[in-house]
A and B are shown apart, each in its own frame.
Chain A
Amino acid sequence: MEKRLSRYIWKHTRAQQLWILLVVAVSMIPYFLSFDLPKQIVNGPIQGDGFDRPDATQTFMNINFDLPYIGNVELFSGLELTRMQMLFGLSLVFLVLVIINGLFKFYINTYKGRLGERLLRRIRFELVDRILRFPPTQFKRMKGAEVSSMVKDEVEPLGGFTGDAFVSPALLGGQALTALFFIFMQNVWLGLIAGVMVGVQAVIIPRMRRRLLVLGRERQITARELAGRVSEIVDGIGTIHAYDTSNFERADIAARLGRIFKIRYDLYQWKFLVKFINNFLAQLTPFLFYCIGGYLALQGQLDIGQLIAVISAYKDLPGPLKDLIDWDQTRQDVQVKYVQVVEQFSAEQIIDSKIQALSSDTAPMPAPLAAVNLTLADDSGARLIERVSVQIKHGETVAIIGGAGAGGDVLAEAFARLIWPESGKVTAGGEDILDLPESVVGRGLTYVSSDAYFFYGTLGENLLYGLKHAPLSERSYSGADATQRKWDVNEARLAGNPDYDTKADWIDYRAASATGADDIFPSLLEVLDTVQLSKDILDLALRTVIDPADHPELAAGIVEMRHALRDELEEAGLSGLVVPFEPGAYNIEATVGENLLFGTAVGPALAGKALGKNAYFRSVVGQSGLDRVLFDMGYSIAENAVELFADLPPDHPFFQQLTFMSADDLPYYQATLQKLKGRGYDAASEDERSSIIRLSALYVEPRHRFGLLTRELMEKIVDVRHQFYDGMPEELKGAIERYDPERYVASASLMDNVLFGRISQKHADGSKRIRSIVSSLLNTLGLLEQVLRIGGDFNVGAGGKRLTAVQRQKLNLARALVRGSEYYVFNRPLPGLDHRLQDEIVRDVMKLLRRNGREPALIWVLSNTGLSHLFDRVLVFDRGQLVEDGTPDTLAEKSGVFKELVSS
C-alpha cells in the first residue's frame, strides 16, 4: 500500500477527482455571478442609478462576447425594462442563480460521498485481504479486537476525506479567492485588510492545531488498546473468575478510561480555544470594515452600495476559509491514521495473492509429501525440530509419536503451513508447498488439531465449512434481484472488491462424494457416525421446540411415530418404559399438576403462578373439593421433607433431589407446619394454602415414594381434568394447549412429542434406552434426516462455545472427514476423549477414509501411543529429532524409544 494517503487516493480515484474538479470549476461561474448581483440590485432599481426618469428603461440580459479575430458576438440583444420590472427581473435572476448553485452543491456532495465510500470499501477490503495473506507468525503478536477496530473505526474518516482530498482545497480555495478578489475589485484597501487577516488566520490556526494532532494520535492508540483489552476480558473471563482478578481488570480499565478521558478533555480544551481565536479573527475583519469602510463612505470616498457589496462578499470569506483550515487539519489527521494503519498491516513475508487465487477446479496434490532438511523454530528462536527429512508416500498410514515437546506435533503443523520453516522446506511432489496454490494444498491436505475454531452460525454450516472454496454454481437471478446483483457486481468492481456471490452455492459436493445438496446427507451421516457425533446432534434436535407450521411433514410424521413407538416398546418387552398421556387416565410418572392440567400453558393467563390465581381454575378445583385433598397431600409432603432435610445444611448436595422445594423454602414450611399443627385446610391462610397445594402439584409418586397417591385420588384428578376442559370459557381456550394423542404439541420439544408421555423412573438408563429406540425408529420411518437437519440448525455460538468441549472436538474432526483429500494430517485431534472412545474413533476414521476404494495418506500424531500398531509406519520423535522410523513390529523388536513409549 502507498505510504501517503493522498497518493493512494490519487492512484485509485484519479479520473473521478479530475471530473469533480471540472464540475467545481464550472460551478464557480454562477457562484461568481451571484456575488455581483446584490450590488446591481441595490445600485440599480433600488437606488435608481440609470433610472433618472420614471419611464426610463435599461437593457436586461444582453449577452454578448468580445472574441478575438471574430469581434463582438451578440447572442441575445436583451429586453428593455423599467425600474420596477428591472427589480423583479434581477431578483428572479438571483433566485435562479441560488437554485443553480444549490444543484451544483448537491451534485458535488453526492459525488464526493460516493467516491469516499468506494475508497473506504477498497481500503477496508484491502486490509482484510492482507490479514488473509499474513504469514502465521504475524498472528502471534496481534490482538483481534485491535485489528478489527482498525478496519472498522480507524479507517472510517479516510472515506470521508477522500471526496474532499482534492476537491475541497480547489473549491474552498476558489471560493475564498473569489471572495477576496471581489473585495479587492470593490476597494483595494478593504481588500488588503481582508487579505492580511486571512494570512494571519492561515498561519496561526494550523500552528495551534499541531497539538491537536498529537492528542488525536494518542486518542486513536488508547482507544484501540481499550478495544483490545475489552475483548481480552471477554475471552479470558473464565481465568478472571477462577483467580478472582476481576478487580484488577476493573482497575486497569478504569485507568485506561481515565487516560482516554484526559486526552479527550485536553482535545476539547484546545479545540475550543482554537475555535475561539479563529472566530475572533474572523469577526475582527468586519469590525474593520464597519469602522474604516463606514468612515470612507461617510467621507464620500466609497459608495454605500460598494460597502454593502464588500460586507456581503466578506460574509462568504470566513466560511470557506475556516473550512479550508479544517480541511488541512483533517488531511493531517487522516494522514497520521493512514500511516498508523498501514504500518500495522505491513508484513515482511506476505503471501502472494496468486497463491490464494480463486479456483473452482481442483488439481490433485502432487505426491509424495516430504520434509526436506526441515528446521522449525518458535517465536523466540528456539529450535523445535532440527534437520528432519521424511517422505510420506501416497496411501501410507503414518503414526507420529513422542513425548511432550518431542516435535512430532510441530512437523504436523508445518505440513499444514501453520508454521513456516526456519530452514529447509516441506514439499509436495518436489515443489515447496508454500509456493503451491492454496487451492491445491488447502484441498489436497486436510489438517485437524485440537484447537478447533468454529464460526458463528449453525452446526450444519460449520460442518460444511471445509468445502466452501469457490462459488461452484452461478445463481441465476430475475427481476429486482437481478438488478440488485448487477448493481452489486458493478459496485464491487468499482471499489476493487471481488464480486463472488455469497448467495451462490459454495459447497464442493464432489469433494464430499456427492453430486448435490440432495444426496450429500448419507455421506455426512456416515462421517457423523464415525466421530460419534450423530447421537449428540439427534439429542440437540430432540430437545428443540419446532413450529409445526414450518415443518408440517415432520410434525405429522412424529404424531404417527407415537403409535409405532408403542408397538416397538411392546415388542421389546419394554412397554413400561414410557407411560403415555391418555386423556382418560392418570399418568403415574407425571406430576400431579401436569395430570390435572393435561396441557401446556401457551398464554400468560394459565402459566406459572397465574394458574393458582385464575378464577375459573379455582372454581373448578374448589367445587370438586380437590383443593382440600391436595392440601392434605401437600401437608404430608411438607412433613416428609422437613423430617428428611431439617438437619442438613442448605448447601448440602442432597437438596438436588428435593424437586418440589428449595433449601431456602424449608424453614418456611417448617414454621407453617408448626403453626397449623395438623388443624387442616380451614385453619390455613390463603397464602399458606397455595404454598402447600403447590407441593402436591409437583409430586411424582414413583420418584418421591412417599405413598400418598391412592386410586381414588387419581380418578378424582382425571375427573376434575375433564370438568376443567368441558366448562372452559371461550377466552381461556387459547391460553392452554391440551395434550391430544393425535396432534403435535407446538410448545413441547420434539422428544416430548415423540414420547407423548413420561419415561418411567423404574428402569435403569431409561432415557438412554428410549433414545436409542427412538433413533432407530426415526431411521426406519425415514424421519432421521429431517430430525438431524433440525439438529444441524443448532447455532453453535461464538467460537462454538454452545457445544461441549468433546462435541467441538468431534465436530472439528467431522468437518475434516467430510472433505475428500489426498492427505489427512491429524494432530492430536481428540485429547478430551477417554481412551475407549479415542480407540473406536481412530479405527472408524481409518475405515471411513478407505471407503469407496480411496487411498489417501494418513498422518496421525497420536496422544495414545497404544494405537500405533494400527498404522503402516511409525515415526518416533524425541527432543526435536526423528529418532525412529519403521513399521510398528520392527520398532517393537528394537529396544528404542518406541518400546519405551508404548510400554509406559
Chain B
Amino acid sequence: MGTHMLLKDEVQMLRRVPLFAGVEPGKLKLLAFTSDRVSYDVGEALFQQGDAGDAAYVVLDGKADILVDTSSGPIKVAEVEKNSIVGEIAILCDVSRTATVKTTTSLEALRIRKDHFLKLLTDFPEITIEIMRVLADRLSHTTSELSEARSRARNPDQD
C-alpha cells in the first residue's frame, strides 16, 4: 500500500521531461499536485478518436501508439515515447480527438485537465514555447511525409 509515488518524486520525474525543463521546481510541484497520476495496462486507450478532448497527457513512463481510423481499419501514424506530451491538439484547437492513443507497454502518465493546461500555457511562457516547438516539429514532419506521398502519387509507376 505504501508504494504510491509522492509529490517530490514526481517533481524529479517532471524535470526530466524536455517540455518542463525550464520551469522552476516550485511550479513543477504545483503542476504535479494539480494533475492526476494515472497508470495504464498494455493495450488500454488513453482516449478514442472522435471523443471530446478534455485533457492532455504527459507520459512519464511507457510507450503508446497513435492510431487513426480509416475505412480499411485503424492505421498507426506515430508512437508516443517516454517524457513526451500527447493529446494537446484537441485541447488547443477545441476539436474532438483526431486519433486514438493506445498503450503498447504499461504506461504511467500525468493527466492535465483542459482548463489547467490552458492556464499553464498563459502562466508559463517557457512551456508554451516548448509546446510550439513540439507542434512545429510535428508539422514539418507531416509536411515532408505529405510531399513524399504526393510525389509518389504523381509518378505511380516509380513506386
Q: Pick from B8, B33, B46: contact of A644, CB below 8 A.
A: B33
Given contacts A705-B5, A707-B6, A711-B2, is CB(A653)–CB(B40) below 8 Å?
Answer: no
Nearest chain B CB to A669's CB is how many angstroms away?
Answer: 16
CB distance from A769 to the nearest CB of B (A): 9
**Does B50 reach chain A (CB closer than 8 Å)?**
yes
What's the Cα separation between A167 and B52 when bound, in Å? 72
A705→B116 contact, CB < 8 A = no
Q: For the complex, is A652 an interface residue (Cβ under 8 Å from B)? A: yes
Residue B14 CB within 8 A of the other chain? no
Q: CB of A844 within 8 A of chain B? A: no
B119 close to chain A: CB less than 8 A:
yes
Question: Which of A643, A706, A761 is the one whose CB lies under 8 Å from B6?
Answer: A706
Per-position contact with A for B87-109: 1 when CB-CB < 8 Å, else 0? Answer: 00000000010000000000001
Interface pair A653/B115, CB less than 8 Å apart:
yes
Contacts of A705 in B (CB 8 A): 4-7, 10, 32-33, 37
Q: Given known contacts A701-B4, A705-B33, A762-B39, is B26 in contact with A643 (CB within 8 Å)?
A: yes
B50 touches which of A645, A657, A836 (Cβ 8 Å) = A836
Q: Is the pair B44, A657 in contact by a Cβ cutoff of 8 Å?
A: no
Contacts across chains A and B counted by CB atoms under 8 Å: 68
A706 to B33 alpha-carbon distance, docked (Å): 9
A587: nearest chain-B partner, CB-CB: B1
Q: Which residues of A contact B15 (CB under 8 A)?
A: none
Decide yes or no whether A801 CB sits under 8 A from chain B.
no
Q: Please give the number of chain B residues whose Cβ is less than 8 angstroms from any Cβ of chain A in the complex.
A: 32
B7 x A706 contact (CB < 8 A)? yes
Interface status of B30 (Cβ within 8 A of chain A): yes
Contacts of A654 in B (CB 8 A): 30, 33-34, 116, 119
Task: Collect the chain A residues with CB atoms within 8 Å of residue B10's CB.
Answer: 705
Complex Cα distance, B7 from A645, in Å, reads 15
Interface string of B60-100 (1 = CB under 8 A from A): 00000000000000000000000000000000000010000
Report the Cα distance A763→B111, complex, angstroms. Answer: 11
The chain B residue with its CB closest to the CB of A653 is: B115
Bound complex: CA A666 to CA B109 (Å): 29
Would you call A707 and B7 a contact (CB within 8 A)? yes
In the bound complex, how far is the Cα of B50 from the Cα of A835, in angstroms? 7
Are B26 and A764 in contact, with the CB atoms below 8 A?
no
The A648-664 residues at the B interface (CB cut-off 8 A) are 648, 652-654, 656-657
User: Bound state CA distance, A420 and B68, in angstroms?
Assistant: 47
Asked if B36 is an interface residue, CB under 8 A from chain A, the answer is: yes
Say how far A19's CB is from chain B's closest CB, in angstroms. Answer: 72
List of B residues within 8 angstroms of A711 by Cβ: 2
List the B side residues contacting A588 at CB < 8 Å.
1, 4
Q: Give Cα A834–Cα B97 distance, bound, in whole angstroms.
A: 11
Within 8 A of B (CB), among A675-708: 701-702, 704-707
Q: B26 contacts A653, CB within 8 Å? A: no
What sequence of 0s and 1s flags, for each residue 18-33 of chain B, a beta carbon within 8 Å of any chain A beta carbon? 0000000010011011
Residues 817-853 of A at the B interface (beta carbon under 8 Å): 834-837
Inter-subunit contact B50/A764 (CB<8 Å):
no
B44 touches A764 (CB 8 A): yes
Complex contacts, B119 vs chain A, CB 8 Å: 652-654
Residue ID in chain A nearest B5 by CB atoms = A705
B46 near A764 with CB under 8 A, answer: yes
> Which residues in B have their C-beta under 8 angstroms from that of A764?
38-40, 44, 46, 109, 111
A588, A645, A653, A835: most-surrounded residue (chain B CB, <10 A): A653
| B24 CB, min distance to chain A CBs, angstroms | 11
Task: Please give, as numbers and ranges, the residues of chain A lying within 8 Å of B109 by CB-CB distance.
Answer: 764
B128 an interface residue at 8 Å Cβ cutoff?
no
Complexed CA–CA distance, A706 and B44 (Å): 29
Closest to A766 in B: B38
Given contacts A654-B30, A654-B116, A834-B52, whether A761 and B36 have CB atoms under 8 Å apart is: yes
Mark interface residues in A629-651 (1 if CB within 8 Å of B CB, else 0).
00000000000000111001000
- Chain A residues positioned under 8 Å from B49 (CB to CB): 836
User: How far apart are the CA atoms of A762 and B38 in the complex, in Å?
Assistant: 5
Closest Cβ neighbor of A838 among chain B residues: B50
Contacts known (A707-B6, A834-B96, A835-B50); A761 close to B30, Cβ less than 8 A: no
A685-737 at interface with B (beta carbon < 8 Å): 701-702, 704-707, 711
User: Which chain B residues border A704 with CB–CB below 8 Å?
Assistant: 7, 33
Q: How far is the CB of A761 from chain B (nearest CB, A)?
A: 7
Q: Let me know if B30 and A645 touch, CB within 8 A.
A: yes
Instruction: Find out whether the CB atom of A834 lies under 8 angstroms from the CB atom of B50.
Output: yes
B132-149 residues at the A interface, CB under 8 angstroms: none
Interface centre among A644, A648, A652, A711 (most CB of B within 10 A): A644
B149 → A minimal CB distance (Å) = 20
The distance from the CB of A892 to the nearest CB of chain B, in whole angstroms, is: 15
How distant is the Cα of A653 from the Cα of B2 in the complex, in angstroms?
30
List B contacts of A643 (CB < 8 A): 26, 29
How far, in whole Å, are A643 and B34 apart by their CA atoms in the complex? Answer: 14
Residue of B nearest to A762 (CB): B39
> B50 and A763: CB pair below 8 A?
no
Known: A705-B7, A763-B38, A763-B39. A653 touches B50 (CB 8 A): no
Interface-centre pick from A654, A656, A704 (highest chain B CB count, 10 A): A654
CA distance A737 to B152 in the complex (A): 72
Docked complex Cα distance between A656 and B115 (Å) = 11
From B8, B51, B116, give the contact of A653 (CB < 8 A). Answer: B116
- Of all chain B residues, the one with the shortest Cβ separation from A657 is B34
Counting chain B CB atoms within 10 Å of each CB, the highest count among A657, A701, A705 belongs to A705
Q: Which residues of B contact A707 (CB under 8 A)?
A: 6-8
Closest chain-A Cβ to B69's Cβ sits at a distance in Å of 9
The residues of B that contact A835 with a CB separation of less than 8 Å are 50, 96
Q: Which residues, 53 to 73 on A, are CB-close (under 8 Å) to B?
A: none
Is there an interface contact between B4 and A702, defined as CB atoms closer than 8 Å? yes
CB-CB under 8 A from B29, the residues of chain A are 643-644
Chain B residues within an 8 Å CB radius of A648: 30
Q: Which residues, 606 to 647 on A, are CB-close (under 8 Å) to B?
A: 643-645
Q: Mark A62-94, 1 if CB is under 8 A from B, else 0.
A: 000000000000000000000000000000000
Report how far A764 CA is from B45 CA in the complex, Å: 10
B46 to chain A, nearest CB (A): 7
A473 CA / B96 CA spacing, docked (Å): 50
Please measure, in the bound complex, the distance between the C-alpha atom of A184 and the C-alpha atom of B52, giving whole angstroms.
94
Nearest chain A CB to B64 CB, angstrom units: 12
> Which residue of A is nearest B114, CB measured?
A653
CA–CA, A656 and B113, complex, Å: 11
Q: How near does chain B come to A589, taking the closest CB pair, in angstroms?
A: 10
Q: Nearest chain B CB to A805's CB is how many angstroms away?
A: 14
In the complex, chain A residues whose CB is within 8 Å of the CB of B116: 653-654
Give min CB distance, B90 to chain A, whole Å. Answer: 12
The proximity string for A residues 560-594 relative to B, scoring 1 for CB distances below 8 Å and 0 otherwise, is 00000000000000000000000000001000000
**Which residues of chain B are near A765, meaning CB under 8 Å?**
38
Most buried by A among B2, B10, B119: B2
Determine which residue in B4, B39, B50 has the highest number of CB atoms from chain A within 10 A of its CB, and name it: B4
Which residues of chain A are near B115, meaning CB under 8 Å?
653
B4: contacting residue among A644, A762, A834, A837, CB under 8 A? A762
CB distance from A12 to the nearest CB of B (A): 60
Which chain A positions have C-beta within 8 A of B111? 764
List chain A positions with a Cβ less than 8 A from chain B.
588, 643-645, 648, 652-654, 656-657, 701-702, 704-707, 711, 761-765, 834-837
What are the nearest 10 A-B pairs in CB distance? A836-B50, A764-B38, A657-B34, A707-B6, A705-B7, A654-B34, A702-B4, A653-B115, A644-B30, A705-B6
Write 14 A-B pairs (CB below 8 A) sorted by A numbering. A653-B116, A654-B119, A656-B34, A702-B4, A705-B33, A706-B7, A707-B6, A711-B2, A761-B37, A762-B4, A762-B39, A763-B39, A764-B39, A836-B49
Known A-B contacts: A762-B4, A764-B38. Give 20 more (CB < 8 A): A588-B4, A643-B26, A644-B29, A644-B33, A654-B30, A654-B34, A654-B119, A656-B34, A705-B4, A705-B7, A706-B6, A707-B6, A707-B8, A765-B38, A834-B51, A835-B96, A836-B48, A836-B49, A836-B96, A837-B50
